[in-house]
């Protein structure tokens, strides 16, 4: 019997959320088409508006993610120590690593 890892479960949950959203949007659009609430000339532009809105939302989420990017001072210290160790190792081997 095959089991799914937690990463696969998370991916499956995201796929199901996206599919549910697409089904809901499609049902809403078909409902608008059948009810004739929006003029026919504007109705066919709704998917385009949705795609543009989705792109704007994606850009907004990337921007928010960049603004809230966490700093990792402990990792910065460890990285600096690794750089110093690498420079010392290379100097011992006779490699010019530039100025300190």
Domain positions in the chain: 1-44, 47-93
Whole-model pTM?
A: 0.42
Query: What's the mean pLDDT in 14-21?
Result: 89
Distance CA 89, CA 16 (A): 51
In this predicted model, which residue has the larger pLDDT, 42 or 52? 52
For the cut 80, the answer to whether the pLDDT of residue 99 exceeds it is: no
């Amino acid at each position: 019997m095959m089991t799914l890892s937690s990463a696969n479960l998370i991916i499956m949950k995201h796929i199901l959320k996206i599919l549910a959203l697409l089904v809901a949007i499609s049902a809403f659009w078909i409902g608008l088409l059948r009810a004739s609430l929006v003029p026919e000339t504007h109705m066919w532009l709704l998917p385009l508006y949705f795609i543009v809105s989705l792109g704007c939302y994606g850009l907004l989420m990337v921007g928010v993610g960049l603004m809230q990017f966490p700093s990792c001072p402990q990792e910065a210290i460890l990285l600096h120590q690794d750089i110093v160790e690498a420079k010392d190792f290379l100097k011992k081997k006779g490699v010019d690593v530039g100025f300190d």
